[in-house]
Amino acid sequence: MQKPLQELLDTLPQIGRIDWIAVRPERKAPMLVCDSVQLQAGRGIVGDRYNGKSGKRQVTLIQSEHLLAIAGFLARESLDPAILRRNIAVSGINLLALKGQQFYLGEALLEFTGLCHPCSAMEAALGAGGYNAVRGHGGITARIVQGGIIYVGDKMRVLTSLHR
């Protein structure tokens, strides 16, 4: 007997891992790589330019696996996540499967708010074809529900589905 689609969408037992963390203190400033950061509920990441601004982009995440895909599209061996200006790179879990989900990064609880699409700056940062290389691989945005300090190496896991 086949499972209903919603049950398949809600089943995500994998445990991910935080591989990389960075903040950007102001627009056009370089990313500052960190071993840990403090997430503030409803506000964002302490030290990041989006901290304290209302909206759905309190945290941006990208899959480490997608960094390899983007690099491959550009005939590179690797890609520094700072170029894409995301806050957190994770591995071991499909970020697109988090739609409609709340999830833990370490002890902090976040909620999926949308996709993080590339902008025209990707062409300048990555060269010709950079925008298209990131399409479908740009990661997600999230809102912080419960704050906490997160560290590189912390686990990432799904809490629950918001569809139920």
Q: Supply the pLDDT for residue 53.
A: 82
Q: Supply the pLDDT for residue 164.
A: 42
Distances (CA, A) of 154 to 11, 63, 146: 21, 15, 16
Asked if residue 3 is part of any domain, the answer here is no
Q: Supply the pLDDT for residue 41.
A: 95
Asked if residue 4 is part of any domain, the answer here is no
Q: Which residue intervals of 30-156 are DSSP H helices?
A: 64-73, 121-126, 130-134
Q: Supply the pLDDT for residue 70.
A: 97
Q: Are 25 and 49 in contact (CB under 8 A)?
A: yes
Residue-level pLDDT, tens digit, the chain, 164 residues = 787 767 766 666 689 999 999 999 998 899 999 999 999 999 999 999 999 887 889 999 999 999 999 999 999 999 999 999 999 999 999 999 999 899 999 999 999 999 999 988 999 999 999 999 999 999 999 999 999 999 999 999 998 655 44
Asked if residue 52 is part of any domain, the answer here is yes
Name which of 140, 135, 59 is nearest 98 in CA terms.
140
Q: Are 18 and 76 in contact (CB under 8 A)?
A: no
CATH number of domain containing 43: 2.40.33.20
Asked if residue 107 is part of any domain, the answer here is yes
Containing structural domain, residue 115 = 15-161
Asked if residue 5 is part of any domain, the answer here is no
Q: Say if strands 88-91 and 59-63 run parallel, antiparallel, or are unpaired.
A: parallel
Which residues fall within 8 angstroms of residue 142, CB to CB, at 6 or more apart? 56, 58, 59, 60, 61, 103, 110, 111, 112, 113
Q: What is the pTM of this model?
A: 0.90
Number of independent structural domains in the chain: 1
Asked if residue 45 is part of any domain, the answer here is yes
